[in-house]
Amino acid sequence: MSEAKSEAGVSRRDLIVGTTTTLAAIAFTPKVIAAPYIITSANGGAVNLDHFVADCIEANRDSDSQGAVREVLKRAVSKPDAMLAALGEPHKAGIKVLHKSRNLTIFNAMWTPQMNLLPHNHLMWANIGIYTGREDNILWRREEDSIKAYSAQALFEGDVGFLPQDGVHSVTNPLLRFTGGIHIYGGDFFDTTRSEWDPETLEERPSDGPAIRAMFDAENIRRAKKAGL
């Protein structure tokens, strides 16, 4: 059965994650990128990560960089098993960087079972493609001196979601197994001081690359204690 399309020609899986982006604002004609993604083998196939990263870099030169990169990501996770074969099964919380530059960051993000991330922003556009598991997003918007939840989106294997530059979201892996996703940002994710919000008080505080790494380390310690390791 084909996916139901909206009047704008956007499927359910292409719903926009964001506060200010509109369907008209993301209209674009992506470049045709011919580099092959799938390397076939006796055991099936795997995404060619070098070609994938090169295509993202090329697409990022488009006048609509987020939209063009998103098309590359959609193709790459359209066969989740092929991306999983390239990256391997997640076994701990963490980030594996595939590319980092001043105007583009690509990494594999791995969430432990039932892991939660505080509400946070990026200060740059973000595309997220899930290749194993599921990622639930709560979307927030700024209101006076705080933020307020206004919507939610569940991303399943093969789904791609995205946030505009001013987007704020919190993330949960609701499953009892690991979730893995390719996250792409329109800037240097690790060299940008952003914000996160306390989950109870919604008090805003700084967040940056070291803070994110510390969060993953704490999650792995928590999981190890829970497992009695």
* pLDDT confidence bin for 37, thresholds 50/70/90: low
Q: What is the pLDDT of residues 147-168, one digit of tens each?
A: 999 999 999 999 999 999 999 9
Q: Over the stretch 97-138, which tens digit does the pLDDT of each residue have?
A: 999 999 999 999 999 999 999 999 999 999 999 999 999 999
Whether 187 and 104 have beta carbons less than 8 Å apart is answered as yes
**Domains parsed from the chain with CATH numbers:** 13-227 (2.60.120.10)
Amino acid residing at 226: K
**Token pair belonging to 94:** 């963490």
For 9-34, what is each residue's pLDDT tens digit?
Answer: 444 444 334 433 332 332 333 333 33
Tokens of 47: 């995404």
DSSP state of 5: B
Q: How far is the C-alpha of 84 from the C-alpha of 90, rounded, in Å?
A: 9
Phi (first) and psi of residue 5, to 5 degrees: -110, 145
Residue identified by tokens 């993604």 is 37
Dist CA 130 CA 28 (whole Å):
23
d(CA 43, CA 155): 27
